[in-house]
Amino acid sequence: MLERYYKKILDARVYDVAIESPIDEANLLGRRYNNTILLKREDLQPVFSFKLRGAYNKMAQLSEEQLAKGVIAASAGNHAQGLALAAHKLGVKAIIVMPKTTPQIKVDAVRNRGAKVVLHGDTYDEASDHAQQLVVEKGLVYIHPYDDPEIIAGQGTIGMEILRQHKGPLDAIFVPVGGGGLLAGVAAYVKHIRPEVKVIGVEPEDAACLKAAMEKNRRVTLQQVGLFADGVAVAQIGKETFRVIRDTVDEVITATTDEMCAAIKDIFDDTRSIAEPAGALALAGLKKYIEQNDVQGQTLLAIASGANTNFDRLRYISERTEIGEKREAIISVTIPERPGSFRKFCRVLGKRNITEFNYRYGHQRDAQIFVGIQIAPDGNDREELVAGLEEKGYPVIDFTDNEMAKLHVRHMVGGHAPAELQEEVLYRFEFPERPGALLNFLTKLGQQWNISMFHYRNHGAAYGRVLVGLQASKSDRKLLKDFLAQLQYPYQEETDNPAYQLFLSGQTGA
């Protein structure tokens, strides 16, 4: 298998459209971690992503008869732009089916490359199904984004370049994983030439389809996929890619949203470029690998795979970066409700910087404050902060890893519900971010149950996050859950979340 892919990669046609991207040393990050850290800069490609390599290589292998029919793909981002550029270069008609939720910047980028864009459905799966219908109706040639030997070979040229450009010691290569085309190509080449070099895949924690497949030794389909790193938001690893990966990859690491945001900042600090979440995923995995294994003095390389992100998302990314860098703790602290209490609390913190403070009067005896506090990124400073406050008699709850607290509660702290509000339940939703989606959501939700609390904030992504309180009697809960299932929006109940209980529920502080 490796010999076959090695030859295919050597013969791959990518340089009619792609550049041989440079390898840059991340000096600031390397000094911080006491390792040599390298970045393979695929974000510098003409479409700001590695995807054009596989797309062009696949099209270059098609017959004249197939090219005359035209090509089609379903994609919400980088594959679409890569295929559009490849088709323009070869003078071939291209149709890209994109979900209606696709940010306008990506739709415009594909159209500017000369491809026809068809907007269909709210998700990639719906767009893909429609693309397959058009294949049958129009006789077009479907170009898969990852699960194709020619696509894999095209992406594998990145592995070839890495070994050609970097002749010195190389301990591990970190590769982002969605469907697995990039990882399969890089691993096939590297393991054939230098089997001692570790190849490590990195996935989002909430879209870890490869990790699930490796654990069960077969492909599985995730019921739900996180969308923050939309470039790798895939529910099932590819069939051919998994066949290659399972025999060539040393390890799979997962990264959280906060860790990806911190890696985006790391790339910016060293290169002054802004990676997309999937583009910084490999570096997030590299950092976690160092921390978990206490690695020092090694040479580690991460593939910076893309830079196609919306400007609107930078606010959200910046907000989450400090936590991802382990430089901020989010905590709830109970202090006495009397003059001078907050000043005394600040004195206990000493020289620590307060990054956020939320409070509203709610009880004559105790005050519940929501606080962000700067911490040192190394060691156990967060645990020491909590322990130190508890020693001084302050009840503390650590919300640093509480997703609801970070997404919603920190923007909502303003008082508990009135005592007369009874039987409130809380749900956190994700819904497709397109015109009319919020109105549709509210229209469907507000027909049977009273909305007692609502928080929505646009993060410039393809999906919206909503926190909703509903009044529903215990006898009515099963009917409510049946109704929520029919809505077909991913949701999670948060009624028992301590952030809600402490800051928003009417059942606390009475």
Other CB atoms closer than 10 Å to residue 301's CB: what's the count? 24
At 424 the pLDDT is: 86
CATH architecture of the domain covering 2-49+149-322: 3-Layer(aba) Sandwich (3.40)
| Active-site position among 305, 332, 452, 505 | 305
> What mean pLDDT comes out for the span 20-38?
97
Domains 2-49+149-322 and 52-142 share a fold: yes
Could you tell me if residue 488 is left (phi over 0), alpha (psi between -120 and 50 degrees) or otherwise beta? Answer: left
Q: What does the alpha-carbon distance between residue 476 and residue 77 come to, in Å, rounded to a whole number? A: 42
- Is 288 a known active-site residue? no
d(CA 340, CA 343): 5
By DSSP bridging, strand 141-142 and strand 71-74 are parallel
CA distance 221 to 209: 7
- Homologous superfamily of 326-401: ACT domain (3.30.70.260)
Mean confidence (pLDDT) of the chain? 88
Residue 305 annotated among the catalytic residues of the structure: yes
Average pLDDT over residues 68-80: 90
The lowest-confidence range among 159-168, 314-323, 432-441, 494-503 is 432-441
- Does residue 200 register a pLDDT over 50? yes
Enumerate the β-bridge partners of residue 39. 24, 302
The domain 413-510: what is its CATH number?
Answer: 3.40.1020.10
**For position 459, what pLDDT does the model report?**
56
Question: What is the per-residue pLDDT for 414?
Answer: 62
Which whole number is the average pLDDT over 3-26?
96
Q: Which residue has the higher pLDDT, 155 or 341?
A: 155
Quick one: pLDDT at residue 354? 74
Q: Residue 222 and residue 220: Cα distance in Å, rounded?
A: 6
SS (HEC) of 436-496: CHHHHHHHHHCCCCEEEEEEEECCCCCEEEEEEEEECCHHHHHHHHHHHHHHCCCEEECCC
Name the residue with higher pLDDT: 121 or 390: 390
- AA identity, residue 276: E
Segment (H or E) for 142: strand 141-142
Region 33-51: mean pLDDT is 97
pLDDT for 318 beyond 90 = no
Counting Cα atoms < 13 Å in the Cβ hemisphere of 301 gives 27
Lowest mean pLDDT among 110-114, 363-367, 420-424: 363-367
CA dihedral 217, 220, 226, 231 (to 10 degrees): 80
pLDDT in tens, 202-240: 999 999 999 999 999 999 999 888 878 888 888 899 999
pLDDT at 509: 44
| Choice between 327 and 358, residue whose per-residue pLDDT is larger | 327
**Measured distance CA(364)–CA(339) in Å, rounded:** 12
Catalytic entry in 51, 100, 191, 211? 51
Mean pLDDT of 389-411: 87
The pLDDT of residue 453 is above 80: no
Please check the confidence at residue 438 and state whether its pLDDT lies above 80.
no
| In CATH, 52-142 is 3.40.50.1100 | yes
Q: Where are the domains of the chain?
A: 2-49+149-322, 52-142, 326-401, 413-510
